[in-house]
Amino acid sequence: MPHHPAIARDRVAVITGAASGIGLAAAYRLAAAGMRIVLADISAEALAAAGKAIAASGATIRTVTADVSVREDVARVKAEADALGPVSLVMNNAAREGSGGILSGIDRWQATMDVNFWGVLHGVQLFAPDMIAADWPCAIVNTGSKQGITLPPGDTAYNVSKAAVKALTESLAHDLLATEGRVTAHLLIPGFTYTGFTRARGVSEKPAGAWTAEQVVDFMLPALAAGDFYILCPDNDVPRETDEKRIAWAAADIIENRPALSRWHPDYAAAFADYMKG
């Protein structure tokens, strides 16, 4: 399978949130492609175990315990990566669940935005300038969420953080047009995925409807190679066609001047159901 040109032997890939889930699955795949890997995560114990496991394959691995909400921590990750070799791929993947509505405490909102948005922005601002100045292919992958597009009620802090990641990554991709395709940006939009988040909610086995983290990464890599910006992943319950219709309905709220989040508005329940059937 051809790879995005940023995925090249002996180049350096940096992955945050790399001790488990999608980040760890990406680390395995990129190490198998011959890349040197810098793994960053807030959990020192899980990170050490992940680094040891991947290094057993013969890959060159560095681990950095880091809180991506702290800019100085991300700067330490960059310093470790630069010491390892030429950085060509950055995956800003670290995130936390929000579990906060509009009126949730400000501390919960702050923590969610600090990791999910500011952590991504720190990664972009610290790595992108050197990538732009380099003379080799590079890519930045930011992990978003379908919730940042359709904004389902109930988890507002998380939705807002991921909507901000979407807007940031779209703007980054436009700015990188100046590199004439040598540096690219991509928004990874996972479907229902069995990760550490799921296990933390007491789900000990993968639900039938969920994809594994490995499936997400195996979907992502060909999409990167094809130059896709929006890497919209299905899962075992929701095919791409359903995602496309839901996203189109959400966008049409503005065009049709419907109430906000009309998909969940009682006056539009029948219309949305008919639309999904049509």
The C-alpha atoms of residue 88 and residue 35 are separated, in whole angstroms, by 9
- Tell me what pLDDT residue 65 has: 98
Q: Where in the chain is the domain with CATH 3.40.50.720?
A: 12-237
The answer to whether residue 51 scores a pLDDT higher than 90 is: yes
- Tell me what pLDDT residue 201 has: 64
Compute φ and ψ for 139, nearest 5 degrees: -150, 145
Which band of pLDDT confidence, cut at 50, 70 and 90, is reported for residue 218?
Answer: very high
Percentage of the chain modeled with pLDDT above 70: 97
The answer to whether residue 58 scores a pLDDT higher than 70 is: yes
The C-alpha atoms of residue 83 and residue 273 are separated, in whole angstroms, by 55
Report the SS3 class of residue 186. Answer: strand
- The mean per-residue pLDDT over the stretch 236-256 comes to 98
Q: Among 158, 194, 230, 268, which one carries the catalytic annotation? A: 158
Which band of pLDDT confidence, cut at 50, 70 and 90, is reported for residue 99?
Answer: confident
- Tell me what pLDDT residue 203 has: 74
More confident residue, 198 or 269: 269
The C-alpha atoms of residue 14 and residue 11 are separated, in whole angstroms, by 10
pLDDT digits (tens, 9 = 90+) for 134-164: 999 999 999 999 999 999 999 999 999 999 9
| Class in CATH terms, 12-237 | alpha beta
- Tell me what pLDDT residue 278 has: 87
pLDDT digits (tens, 9 = 90+) for 116-132: 999 999 999 999 999 99
- Tell me what pLDDT residue 204 has: 75
Do 231 and 187 contact (CB within 8 A), yes or no?
yes
**Catalytic residue at 158?**
yes
Which band of pLDDT confidence, cut at 50, 70 and 90, is reported for residue 98?
Answer: confident
Average per-residue pLDDT for the chain: 96
| Alpha carbons within 13 A on the beta-carbon side of 250 | 16
- The mean per-residue pLDDT over the stretch 182-192 comes to 97
Residue 63's DSSP bridge partners are 39
pLDDT digits (tens, 9 = 90+) for 26-50: 999 999 999 999 999 999 999 999 9
Which band of pLDDT confidence, cut at 50, 70 and 90, is reported for residue 199?
Answer: low
Least confident of 60-64, 88-92, 199-203: 199-203
The answer to whether residue 169 scores a pLDDT higher than 70 is: yes
Which band of pLDDT confidence, cut at 50, 70 and 90, is reported for residue 100?
Answer: confident
The C-alpha atoms of residue 119 and residue 138 are separated, in whole angstroms, by 20
- Tell me what pLDDT residue 195 has: 85
Q: Quote the crossing angle between the two packed helices 240-255 and 269-277, to the nearest 10°.
A: 140
The C-alpha atoms of residue 59 and residue 36 are separated, in whole angstroms, by 7
